[in-house]
Structures are given as C-alpha cells and as structure tokens.
C-alpha cells in the first residue's frame, strides 16, 4: 500500500538528546532485513521497559527519532526505544499483509525481524520482558496492530494512530472470534481522524469491531463509556469493556496527519512509572487473570 502524505513535515522538529541513536548490526533471524536502530539513554532505569516505534510510509527510523519526543522521554524515564526501518525501498511502507508477517515467529516477514530486535534488546540491556510496548502512525500503526495480533506473548500494550484492521483476525469462515485464544493478552488503543484523506475513517470502526471481538467483549461496538473533548477539543474517547481494555479515539475534522501523541501513549503504557508497581504484560485483556503466574515470550 502506497501512502503519500505530509507526515515527514509534521515531524520536522529535531530533538536534542544526551545519548545518540545507534544502528545495530546483530546476528538474529531477520528474514526481510529490517533495519535496527536503537536509543538507549545514558541513565537507564533498572530492568528498563522497551518501546518499539515503527515509522510511516515514506519515512524512516531517523525521521521518527528526530521528530518525536520519545528519545527525550527515554532520557527522563530510563526506557529504551527501538526504531525499526522498513526494508521496502520503493515506498518505505511496512509489510502488513503477507502470510509471513502475519504469522508468529517462523513466518519470515517484517514482524519477525522486529520481534527479534526486541529479544536482542531484552538480553543486551537486561530489560523487562513484561514491559514491551509498540506505537506508530499510519503504516507504523498498521505494524502496531500486526505486532499486537501476531505476538500477543511479547507486547503488553499498543497504540495505533490512523491505521487499519489487522489481517490476523481473518478466519477460514470470516469470524473475528477465531483469534481470541491467541490475541487477547494486551491493552489496545486506536486513534483516527474523521477527515483522513489517505486511510478512510471507516477503518476506525473496523478496528473497533475486531479488537472488541478479539478481546472477548462480545464483538460489541457499543462503548461502556464515552468522553467528549478528550484528550483534545472535538476528540471523543470511547472506552470498551468495564476494565477499559480497548480505548478508541475519534478526532473530528482531523486529517491523516493525526500525529503520534506521546503523552497519551506514555500514560497508556505507564511508561512514566519507575517503581516496581508498573503496568506489565498479563495485566490487561480478558486473559489477564489467567496469565498472572505466567511470563511473556522472552
């Protein structure tokens, strides 16, 4: 999918960081040769969390690093940021539709390379496998949904800005409930602008349908709670399930340049928490109670 828009201009502001962005050359399965860029602040928190931030079409790892504030926030709170770089030279979009990328671990797609970057980072920095998160805009939002769906044993939560539904939900009979047993471990947050000229706003409703079904919320598109003007004027927040496993934000008159609102994502991931009582894998989603005595994949 080719997406042409002004996201690069949107992220034009350059942040200044104490540490530097590293290009990592590591020996692990990376079948599509996804680029591996990592930011580790000079002062890491003990067993630091890991945030994955995939870029949009026609963007790259450096654009997200320079344009977002996640590296500066990492300096403040001591977490690590992985900036994967798409190997697709034609338009720098992520593979979010092939059987390989939608498959768990042995699929041979972009998602496998990214997840193995997470595994490498956890080992290298003694990071917290229970606090791995992902967020992205546009094609990065699509990859966010892919990683949440294909690797629910790795990611504790994700936030997708202006994305589309994830293909892992497709079943032989078209039922969205088919993946419930595998995709119901994390917290999910989705955002979409009503004036999106690149990815139609109908994708927002489809994401809600799919995640409510996968999270065991009876496939209901009726929110448990609605909050107007949250987090901004003319944005509406919808909360699904009594425990709020899914949050969906509709942004009135906002185009595809919705941005990646770091403050909202940071709160959702509990990344400002530096004590031992932080949100982690197994505490969200309908399978949360049954996972309390289990551990994530890495």
The end-to-end CA distance of the chain, in Å, is 32
What pLDDT band is residue 10 in, cutting at 50, 70 and 90?
A: very low
Helix (H) or strand (E) holding 198: none
| Residue-wise pLDDT tens digits, 247-266 | 988 999 988 888 778 999 99
Average pLDDT over residues 83-87: 96
Q: Which residues are known catalytic residues? A: 138
pLDDT score for 297: 63
pLDDT score for 176: 39
Is the domain spanning 7-291 CATH 3.75.10.20? The answer is: no
Rounded CA separation 82/260 (Å): 15
Give yes or no for a contact between 112 and 106, defined as CB atoms under 8 angstroms apart: yes
> What are the extents of the domains in the chain?
7-291
Q: Is the pLDDT of residue 41 over 90?
A: yes
Q: From edge to edge, which strands make up the β-sheet containing 80-85?
A: 22-23, 35-39, 80-85, 50-52, 132-137, 157-161, 187-193, 246-251, 235-240, 225-228
What pLDDT band is residue 6 in, cutting at 50, 70 and 90?
A: very low
Which of 138-152, 195-209, 275-289 has maximum average pLDDT?
138-152
Average pLDDT over residues 171-189: 52
Model pTM score:
0.84
Strands (E), the chain: 22-23, 35-39, 50-52, 80-85, 132-137, 157-161, 187-193, 225-228, 235-240, 246-251
* Both structure tokens of 247: 């949050």
Please count the residues of the chain. 298
The two beta strands, 50-52 and 225-228, are unpaired
């Amino acid at each position: 999918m080719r997406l042409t828009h002004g996201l690069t201009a949107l992220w034009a502001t350059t942040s200044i960081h104490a540490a530097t962005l590293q290009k990592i050359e590591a020996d692990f399965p990376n079948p599509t040769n996804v680029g591996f860029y990592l930011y580790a602040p000079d002062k890491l928190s003990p067993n630091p969390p890991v945030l994955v931030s995939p870029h949009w079409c026609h963007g790259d790892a450096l654009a997200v690093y320079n344009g977002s504030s996640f590296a500066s926030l990492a300096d403040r709170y001591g977490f690590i940021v992985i900036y994967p770089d798409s190997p697709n030279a034609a338009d720098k979009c992520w593979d979010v539709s092939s059987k390989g990328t939608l498959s768990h671990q042995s699929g041979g797609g972009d998602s496998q390379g990214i997840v193995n970057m997470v595994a490498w980072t956890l080992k290298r920095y003694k990071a917290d496998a229970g606090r791995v998160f992902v967020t992205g805009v546009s094609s990065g939002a699509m990859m966010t949904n892919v990683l949440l769906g294909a690797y629910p044993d790795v990611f504790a939560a994700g936030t997708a800005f202006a994305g589309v539904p994830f293909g892992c939900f497709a079943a032989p009979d078209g039922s969205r409930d088919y993946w419930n047993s595998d995709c119901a471990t994390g917290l999910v947050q989705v955002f979409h602008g009503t004036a999106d000229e690149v990815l139609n706003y109908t994708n927002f409703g489809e994401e809600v349908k799919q995640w409510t079904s996968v999270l065991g919320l009876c496939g209901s598109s009726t929110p448990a709670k609605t909050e107007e003007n949250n987090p901004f004027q003319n944005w509406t927040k919808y909360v699904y399930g009594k425990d709020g496993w899914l949050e969906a934000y509709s942004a009135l008159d906002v185009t595809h340049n919705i941005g990646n609102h770091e403050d909202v994502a940071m709160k959702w991931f509990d990344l400002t928490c530096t004590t031992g009582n932080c949100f982690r894998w197994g505490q969200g989603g309908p399978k949360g109670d049954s996972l309390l005595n289990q551990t994530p994949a890495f």
